[in-house]
Amino acid sequence: MRIQGAYPLTMGQLSMWNALAVRPPEQLWESNLEAVWPMSAAATEEQARHALAALAERHESLRTVYRPAQEPGNVRQVVLRDPVVECTAASAREPFDLTAQPAWRAWVHTPDDGPPQVHLLIHHIAADGAALRILESDFQALLRGEPLGDAPAPRELAERQRSAAFRERLTAAGEYRRQTLAAAPRRTASRGPLLRALFHTGVPYGAARRAAQHLRVTLPNLLLAVYARALAVTTATPEQLLWQLAANRLDPSVRRLVSSMTQWVPMTAAGDPERPLGQSAQEVNLAAVRAMRHGVFDPFAVTPQDFDHGSYFTFIPAPDDADPGPTELLPERLEWLAPRAYSGASFYLVARAYPSVQLTLRVMRDGYGRADAERFLVTMSGLLRRAAEEAR
């Protein structure tokens, strides 16, 4: 392998590397992400392979392996000069050796009843959720032969994050984290069987967005407030420690960076059911904005992440060109999912906004059964539906 250079990791990459270091070998595959990209019926497999090679040439994270160090914070990303594209199918349960090969592969599959598709398998250290959308957009442009401008590189961000100008920001983020956790309620939680559920709230994107506007908060923070309130109701504990997944892409220079940018940032929220939801939502909105300002931190300069302390939350936004569409509420529906990903947070909610609000709950806490999970989801959906109805 011809090497372009070896560089420090970004704080997002370090967070992922740190999490992998304490994960059992049988759970390493759980950081693999999957995506399926459509292709036009006229596109050929050879054209797709050329576009994938150009994609790897364009984004350094697709040409990167990782060199461990005696001090974990000194691990290096080694960028290769030449793209290496593995085009054979693989199982999502097959872990990548991050030290030996770029952590992705893609292959073309043609279903019996449709046009060809590209299947992508990639490790989270190479791409987060936002980066997956960037990769698909760039792949489609390359497949069409459209020119693309220069792409930012993780090593450039890593250099900025180690500058004297950035040091104050990292220090402030570490202190914010220390103060938040010191003041947060501490409750004992032990791990139990894994449950996964998908709750279709029946609240269309347009109705949810209108409810957030009515309460003068952002849509993700309305859902975060509803999350805190539902937790307070179902646990009979008003104050909650919440962890948000910070995308850390507000800076235009990294908005189209393909890498792992996300880090967990804590906040506390009061979900007292006796207070008006609008009042709680505005307080949560302010606390969430403050937390996100501290979303970039050095994971080796703070206490290790405790995935059993507090409740975790991720918001999946609507596409930039999403049509608000209908606002009429539809019936709710609960769907139980097969278990997956035993590593990470023991109480974790993913809220998807489009085309309607869907709540995916993963819980593995002792004493938490299906009835408890369903009660929580029904409570959260009911609060959101009431907010949507009041905004009409």
Give me the CATH number covering residue 100: 3.30.559.10
pLDDT of 50 > 80? The answer is yes
Residues 141 and 61 grouped into a single domain: yes
283-319, pLDDT tens digit by residue? 999 999 999 999 999 999 999 999 999 999 999 999 8
What are the residues facing 352 on neighbouring strands?
316, 358
Tokens of 32: 């693999």
Mean pLDDT of 19-27: 93
Mean pLDDT of 205-226: 97
- Lowest-confidence segment of 48-57, 135-144, 271-280, 376-385 by average pLDDT: 271-280
Residues 220 and 321 grouped into a single domain: yes
pLDDT averaged over every residue in the chain: 94
Higher pLDDT, 179 or 340: 179
Last residue of some domain: 140, 160, 180? 160
From CA 352, how far away is CA 121, in angstroms rounded? 21
Q: Which of 172, 169, 194, 189 is nearest to 237 (CA)?
A: 189
From CA 122, how far away is CA 19, in angstroms rounded? 17
Residues 280 and 368 grouped into a single domain: yes
58-103, pLDDT tens digit by residue? 999 999 999 998 887 889 999 999 998 999 999 999 999 999 999 9
Residues 221 and 297 grouped into a single domain: yes
pLDDT of 386 > 80? The answer is yes
The backbone torsions φ and ψ at residue 32, rounded to the nearest 5 degrees and listed phi first, read -75, 135
Last residue of some domain: 115, 136, 160? 160
pLDDT of residue 271: 76
Neighbours of 275 (CB within 10 A): 14
Residues 220 and 148 grouped into a single domain: no
pLDDT of residue 358: 98
pLDDT of residue 322: 87
228-258, pLDDT tens digit by residue? 999 999 998 889 999 999 999 999 999 999 9
pLDDT of residue 173: 97
Residues 154 and 214 grouped into a single domain: no
Mean pLDDT of 332-354: 95
Last residue of some domain: 116, 140, 160? 160
Cα dihedral across residues 142, 88, 27, 99: positive or negative: negative
DSSP track, 160-177: HHTSHHHHHHHHHHHHHH
Residues 251 and 381 grouped into a single domain: yes
Residues 237 and 379 grouped into a single domain: yes
Q: What domain range includes position 325? A: 166-390
Give me the CATH number covering residue 250: 3.30.559.30
This prediction's pTM = 0.94
pLDDT of residue 182: 95
Number of domains in the chain: 2
Residues 150 and 279 grouped into a single domain: no
In what order do the strands lie in the sheet containing 3-8? Answer: 3-8, 76-80, 64-67
From CA 77, how far away is CA 67, in angstroms rounded? 6
Residues 93 and 171 grouped into a single domain: no
Evaluate whether 192 touches 324 at the Cβ level (below 8 Å).
no
* Burial tier of 130 (Cβ tally within 10 Å: 0-12, 13-18, 19+): buried
Residues 128 and 107 grouped into a single domain: yes
Evaluate whether 259 touches 61 at the Cβ level (below 8 Å).
yes
- Lowest-confidence segment of 6-10, 233-237, 352-356 by average pLDDT: 233-237
Residues 210 and 352 grouped into a single domain: yes
From CA 174, how far away is CA 331, in angstroms rounded? 44
**Helix, coil or strand: residue 36:** strand
Mean pLDDT of 201-212: 97
